[in-house]
Amino acid sequence: MSLKKGLPVKTLFYLTGAVVLAALPILIRSNYWIGTVNLAIIYSIAVLGLNIILGLTGQLNIAQAAFWGIGAYTAALLNTRLGWPFWATFLVAPPTAAAFGVILGFPTLRLSGRYLAMATIGFGIIINLILHNWKEFTGGVDGIPGIASPVLGPLRFSTNASFYYLAIVCLILAALTQVRIKNSRMGRAFQAIKDNELAAELSGVDTFKYRVVAFALCSAYGGLAGQLFAHRTKYVSAETFFIDMSILFICMLMIGGAGSVAGSIVGASLLTFISVWLRFLQGLWAMAIFGLASVVIMIFMPTGLAGLAKSVGAKMAVRFRPDLQKERAELPQEVSH
């Protein structure tokens, strides 16, 4: 049975995935929906960042929209004022956002839970006020128009379909990077801090350092998402990067499954499309529905869609593979709660 070998199934799965992803613009055709896919990819990268700080490290950060905005404005300013091309802003925007992540992460080291949440909300609002009111620098309410499309040699990524290929490569690299981080000693340090900060410190983890690193990585992902966003929409304005987007990113992560790389992407994509379908309800109603869905999911399915898929997958595996049944029976059963 090919199932037992494992490897060919996996290779086949990845090949099919690659073909589908490569053919997606041809399959979809509609320019509008490809544009929506691009938005879903950008949101996925921002949510992947949130997954590091909230999903892995367990620190509630309600400022991801601010980091997203910092990345977008960094790209917009460098491109429109100094004429830097996409590739240059690509290298500068994520580190710039990461530097702001350190600025937020360092003074909040001794905060956790709701106190940290409030500090991050404050940070998000301050950044948004600066974007709104520092007219000479950020263009104020008018924002910054005229951001150039990415160009690589003879290739111009100016249409939605061409930009898609650029964005999907960024997302795949961002996801692979995160898988590696998650399965490393750094990822284990993050998860140790989430489960028990004191025990992490007394096991040898420099918890202060890794909390700041988690904030920096989270905001670097946010900055990359912002940089892509700026070059895709060719225009940025402050109200895009308000707190409602920070909360939407959190909903995306919770529904997809906090801690899961695939869950982050699925959650972000799902909510992007649902919010487009719910557009007739006006923005606030869509937010209310997402908020309610998040609460329901956190009560009944705290591990999100990723957790659901995992437990269904485990049950299916046991049903179809009797050899696993025995192994499972030998595992220690849950004792408490």
Chain contacts with other proteins (rule: CB under 8 A): 177, 180-181, 184-186, 188-189, 191-192, 194-196, 198-208, 213, 259, 331-336
Instruction: Give the residue with the Cβ less far from other proteins, 1 or 331.
Output: 331
Sign of the torsion angle spanned by Cα atoms 136, 141, 142, 148: positive
Output the smallest distance, CB 207 to other proteins, in A.
7
Q: Which is nearer to other proteins, 165 or 208 (CB)?
A: 208
Element (H, E) at 212: helix 207-233
Nearest approach in angstroms of CB 217 to other proteins is: 8
Cα dist. 229→90, 147, 273 in Å?
Answer: 11, 10, 17
Q: What angle do CA 44, 304, 276 make, to 5 degrees?
A: 45
What is the rounded distance in angstroms from the CA atom of residue 131 to the CA atom of residue 238? Answer: 6
Minimum CB–partner distance for residue 9 and other proteins (Å)? 21
Using the structure block, give the residue that is written with the tokens 């750094």.
Answer: 186
Q: What is the C-alpha to C-alpha distance for residues 117 and 272, in angstroms, rounded to an integer?
A: 24
Cβ proximity to other proteins, 29 vs 337, nearer residue: 337
> Measured from the CB atom, is 72 or 189 closer to other proteins?
189
Nearer CB in complex with other proteins: 69/259:
259
Number of C-alpha atoms within 13 angstroms, CB side, residue 186?
15
User: Residue 203 CB, nearest distance to other proteins (Å)?
Assistant: 5
Least separation in angstroms between residue 179's CB and other proteins is 10
Min dist. Cβ of residue 250 to other proteins (A): 19
Enter the tokens of residue 62: 């309600």
Of the candidates 53, 336, 333, the residue with the CA atom closest to the CA atom of residue 193: 53
Nearer to other proteins, 58 or 150 (CB): 58
